[in-house]
Structure formats: structure tokens, C-alpha cells
Structure 1
Amino acid sequence: MPHTVKLRTESFTKAGQLAGFHSDYALAKAMDVNRSTVARVLSGRLRPGSAFIGGALVALTPMQFHDLFEVVPDTERSDLS
């Protein structure tokens, strides 16, 4: 079964607040992605891509991949098999 990366929404939001980012815009700017991308990933409408993941790890240092994301089965792709 294929796998994908999912955002740990609660951890991501808390890490952003603790890092001093009090809006999606401020966090998106630090991540070098669009505010709408942050909003869509947070809402689950968009999967985090490489730019989002890399930006989050840089902006939210010392957080690590496993703190902010998890690898889960890709149920959307497995339905296509």
C-alpha cells in the first residue's frame, strides 16, 4: 500500500504559536509559502508538499519531522489500485 505524509495539525499549530507566529500569514512568510497553502494544509484540503515540509522544519526549528508530520497509508491512491 502506498504511503503519504500528513500534518500533525495540533502540534504544528502549537509550535507556530510558541515560535511567535500568531497568524497563518506570519508563519507562511517564514516558511516561504503562500498563506493559502498553510490554510489548505491545516484544513486537510491539501497534502503537505516538499516546500511546505521543508519550510515548516526551517521556520519551526528545533521541531523535527516526526514532531510535525506523520507517515500514513495513502487511502486515496490505494483506492485507485
Structure 2
Amino acid sequence: MAKTIRLRAEQFRKAARLAGYRSDYALANAMEVERSTVHRVLKGDLQPGPAFIGGALTALAPMQFEDLFEVIPVRL
């Protein structure tokens, strides 16, 4: 079965607040992605890609992949 990565949105938001990011804009700058990308991934309209994942793990360190993301099956 195929797999994809999904953001753990609540954990991501909590980690961002605890790291001191008060807006999607500030977080996006730290992640080096567009603010609209953060917004769309948080809404579930866009799957997190490599730039988003890498940026999140860098900006929200010491959070680990498993803290912020989950691997789920995809129905084909």
C-alpha cells in the first residue's frame, strides 16, 4: 500500500507557539517557505513536501519528525 506524510497540525501549532512564533508569517520566514504554504498545509489543502518538512524540523528543533508528522496509507 502506498504511503504519504501528514502534518500533525495541533502538535505543529503547539510547537510553533512554544518556539515563540506568533504568526504564520514569522514561522514561514524561519522555515524558509512561503506563508501561504504554511497556511495551506495547516488547513490540509496541501501535503507537506521536502522543503516544508526540512524547514519545520529546523525551525522547530528539537522537535523530531515523529513529533510533527505521521506516515499514513494512501488509497489509490
The reply to whether TM is greater than 0.5 is yes
**May I ask how many residue pairs the two structures share in their alignment?**
76
- Identity across matched positions, percent: 66
1:18-49 Cα offsets, whole Å, 9 max, x none, are 00001000000000000000000000000000
Give the greater-gyration-radius structure (CA).
1
TM-score (norm 2): 0.99
Name structure 2 gaps, 5 residues minimum.
Answer: none
Name structure 1 gaps, 5 residues minimum.
Answer: none
TM-score (norm 1): 0.93
* 4+ long deviations beyond 6 Å: none
1:11: which partner in 2? 11
RMSD of Structure 2 on Structure 1 (CA): 0.4
Looking at structure 1, the residues matched to 45 and 14 of structure 2 have their Cα atoms a distance apart, in angstroms, of 20
